[in-house]
């Protein structure tokens, strides 16, 4: 998209929602036929971001009708076992929380509207778009509805701290993980 941050550029299939759906599903289906798991990202959309969420917190101000038609809708037909959340504020849905920390967005958009039934993974909780400390970012992500939390900066001290506060994996995530292992074999 013309008005997106340059980091979106080649990380997106297209600026046309129909092309995104077609190409995304083509990739998912080809990977699935070859027993490769896929992660759709960044759900419910990241294409309108004018800031790089690795460094800043993007806020998208488009109205609900526009977002539903152009951004959220492209994920509806995706049948991936995993999805990664967007560290983006969708002002018309939740003007305080990025999607990763928003119960409203995860429940009403990702789980209900998009109808995503798989394992929902947070994007990296050490990114600058999240405003809290690592432990709080992790707990907020899980409380909002993420099933797993990613910590990707490779700092072992931080990982050890997080391991102490992250609860055990819930039954839903255990079940979905088992189904995925069966898919691989």
Q: Is 94 a catalytic residue?
A: no
Cβ–Cβ contacts within 10 Å for residue 69, how many? Answer: 12
Q: Is 54 a catalytic residue?
A: yes
Residue 115 CB contacts under 8 Å (≥ 6 apart), including other chains: 76
Choice among 71, 123, 124, 151 that is catalytic: 123
Per-residue tokens: 25: 């599903």
| DSSP-assigned beta bridge partners for residue 103 | none
- From CA 113, how far away is CA 118, in angstroms rounded? 14
Cβ–Cβ contacts within 10 Å for residue 114, how many? Answer: 22
* DSSP code of residue 68: I
What are the φ/ψ torsions at residue 16 (nearest 5 degrees)? -95, 115
By annotation, the residues acting in catalysis are 54, 123
């Amino acid at each position: 998209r013309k008005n997106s941050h340059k980091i979106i550029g080649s990380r997106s299939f297209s600026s046309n929602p129909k092309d995104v759906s077609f190409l995304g599903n083509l990739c998912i289906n080809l990977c699935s036929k070859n027993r490769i798991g896929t992660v759709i990202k960044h759900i419910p959309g990241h294409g309108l971001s004018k800031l790089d969420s690795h460094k800043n917190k993007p806020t998208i101000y488009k109205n609900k009708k526009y977002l539903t038609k152009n951004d959220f809708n492209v994920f509806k037909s995706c049948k991936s076992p995993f999805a990664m959340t967007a560290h983006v504020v969708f002002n018309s849905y939740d003007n305080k929380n990025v999607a990763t920390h928003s119960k409203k967005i995860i429940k009403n958009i990702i789980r209900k509207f998009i109808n995503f039934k798989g394992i929902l993974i947070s994007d990296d909780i050490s990114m600058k778009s999240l405003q809290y400390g690592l432990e709080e970012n992790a707990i907020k992500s899980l409380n909002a509805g993420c099933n797993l939390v990613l910590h990707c900066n490779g700092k072992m001290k931080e990982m050890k701290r997080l391991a102490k506060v992250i609860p055990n994996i819930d039954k839903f995530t255990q079940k979905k993980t088992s189904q995925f292992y069966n898919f691989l074999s």
